[in-house]
Amino acid sequence: MKTVACVVQPGFAPFEFGVACEAFGLDRTEDGVPNFDFRVVTAEPGAIPSKLGFSLNVDADLTFADEADLVVICPVPRELWNAGDPRVLDVVRRAVARGAWVLSVCSGAFVLAEAGVLDGRRATTHWMYADVMARDYPLIEVDPDVLYVQDGTIITSAGTAAGLDACLHLLRQELGAELTNTIARRMVIAPQRDGGQAQFISRPLPVAVNQSLASVTDWMVENLREGLSVEQLAARAHMSPRTFARRFKADHGATPAAWLARQRLIHAQRLLEKTDFGLDRIADESGFGSAAVLRQNFARTLGMTPTAYRARFSCARSEAEPAA
């Protein structure tokens, strides 16, 4: 992926627009991250009003979007959800047809829905609007409980911050885990967030954060090779296993086992990128135990084998340890 077109329309949401700019528009070559040719485009160049009253001067029309490797769709006002600009809808259809990435942030998914490219696919949008999408576009399998969904080359995201999660998800596939972590560190956000929108729906904030769980998760990451049971982890947190499991899922949006599996996968990705270790050693060091289990997790989560992942993203230096 080298070229990115961010489509804005009248009434665009500034924060969600900024998400695309932050993820794909900044020059991070000094950190070793490839630079994208990022351009903001619109159907009618000129002053494009935002929903907050100020305008953005956009000089480029939609021509570049027909060549871009990624087309990002920003949210539009609700009155435009079912009455999209036909020029933008055609750009979206052509992008999907030629196999380009298409990513929507928040209610930008309604533009994709109106274009018809989500029919027969799984998708998401902000939890407040998921029922509306399911009602108005019954051919779409709307999942209201996730931060983002990838179906083929189309990625839809939930509200606001979930747009960053979706962008990082795409960057991991294009740049690998190590460079994506570099980008996330620059943003000062987690490179990979577990959980779903259910964490944020009509739920009061806890009075205080249980700091003991932070120490437990730190210890888990430092001991990925160990066979970590809920009972063992609960003991470190000075809780019963049942209380620990319930509190862990409430705080992290995932069970201890699912969270641990994700951390092991991330560590395995880093080892594949930065070392020449054999699969057996990587499986051992990341806590999967065997190369077979490592392959199963890669296939299920990333849709590729560890060998294919290494071939695509390896940045192992010549001094890396020889394969085991």
Residue of 84, 85, 41 whose CA lies nearest to 64: 41
Residue carrying the six token digits 């499986």: 283
Asked if residue 124 lies in contact with residue 146, where contact means CB atoms within 8 angstroms, the answer is: yes
Q: From the candidates 6, 21, 74, 106, which is the catalytic residue? A: 106
106 in active site: yes
The Cα–Cα gap between 99 and 118 comes to 14
* SS3 per residue for the chain: CCEEEEECCCCECHHHHHHHHHHHHCCCHHHCCCCCEEEEECCCCEEEEECCCCEEEECECHHHHHCCCEEEECCCCHHHCCCCCHHHHHHHHHHHHCCCEEEECHHHHHHHHHHCCCCCCEECCCCCCHHHHHHHCCCCEECCCCCEEEECCEEEECCCHHHHHHHHHHHHHHHCHHHHHHHHHHHCCCCCCCCCHHHHCCCCCCCCCCHHHHHHHHHHHHCCCCCCCHHHHHHHHCCCHHHHHHHHHHHHCCCHHHHHHHHHHHHHHHHHHHCCCCHHHHHHHHCCCCHHHHHHHHHHHHCCCHHHHHHHHCCCCCCCCCCC
Q: What tokens were used for 256?
A: 């201890």
Q: What tokens were used for 191?
A: 């490179």
Residues forming the active site: 106
